[in-house]
Structure 1
């Protein structure tokens, strides 16, 4: 499915399907974006990660894979200011950026997971176990008691491998590059690999910090 032109909001964070995105809007062009969305039947815009540079003032480099943000709550604070709560939905791929007039816009398409190798459920369970071990390690060093298994509890309740992996990724303190790699993996099987590598990176960083 192709969406001809969609309002876009570049962010300094990668957002994954299933997450919530709170926003405070005050910049005039994004006030215009919100007004356009709220006037539409489906108040939705796209979000993508800024890969380099800063969005304010232009000159940023934007990723090609993002997600739809559905406005679920909004408050008009006056003077062009808004407070939004958005739910992150389907993954999208940018086909072509349009001029930022009056706000960023792009032609996009919905980009569901592509056909690929079967998802190895045992590999996802292994990721969960390593996440639990990581949080148990941190808790032990800090001298606190936690039920680390709660960290992954319910992540698989949807019965959908893609949602399961996204849910686990949101519960792990990974960097934006690793989070984007999870989002941009073409297939669910490749997302397992991306998330596993992200877990390895976090474990290595934590062990390095704890050893100093």
Structure 2
């Protein structure tokens, strides 16, 4: 197990996806200073109850390691750009003083095999179709023509990151134990979201960034 500084958020960080943070609380300024004095990595975990500001939140037990790619110091905050990497399970939360920390264990990475080509393509078509449908009702942060990684495992995760699905569905995908499971569940969540749009014939509420 390793001990990581942790940043609880109201969204799920998927491997391979970008993360932009505005850091202004003293505890997270201290976290960021220690992160940049080390390996530029910290953990991100979804908040179960509570808010991102002020502490006292309850957190889910699975997250993602974020690697800092760049930052800018402003007058009253720090803008940070990071990328999601390895998945982690939280084994034990430590004292939040001076900032949230946890003992974590890495989750085994997913593996690829050539017999997954068809299910990967179906998942991609499903995600892009849902993006097109959702964009008719709400502003979505990702384009229907969004470019994906040439690496099939990374592109599968990116599909999970850009799909306009609910936050808890995305969190469920983060716990996938195999690539077929990730791709099949992703298609299921996309189908449910698409059905919701068509049943309501109105805006789809997307509670992610």
Whether the TM-score (by the shorter chain) exceeds 0.5 is yes
Alignment RMSD: 2.7
- Partner residue of 1:145? none
- Partner residue of 1:72? 69
**Aligned pair partner of 1:176 in 156, 167, 189:** 167
- Does 2:93 align with 1:94? no
- Partner residue of 2:186? 195
- Alignment gaps of 5+ in structure 2: 138-142, 204-209
SS in 2 for 1:207: helix
- Partner residue of 1:23? 21
- Partner residue of 1:155? 148
Question: Structure 1 residues 48-57 or 30-39, which shifts more?
Answer: 48-57
- TM-score, normalisation: structure 2: 0.82
- Partner residue of 1:112? 108
CA contact (8 A) 1:7 1:105 kept: yes
Larger radius of gyration between Structure 1 and Structure 2: 1
- TM-score, normalisation: structure 1: 0.81
**Aligned pair partner of 1:133 in 105, 121, 129:** 129
Question: Structure 1 residues 59-68 or 96-105, which shifts more?
Answer: 59-68
**Aligned pair partner of 1:58 in 37, 55, 58:** 55
Deviations 1:90-146 (A, max 9, x none): 11111111010100000112212368999633222222223343345567x68xxxx
Tell me: CA distance 1:138–1:37, structure 2 relative to 1, closer, same or farther (3 Å): closer
Tell me: CA distance 1:207–1:59, structure 2 relative to 1, closer, same or farther (3 Å): same
SS in 1 for 2:84: strand
Number of aligned positions between the proteins: 198
CA contact (8 A) 1:26 1:82 kept: yes
- Alignment gaps of 5+ in structure 1: 143-147
CA contact (8 A) 2:120 2:183 kept: yes
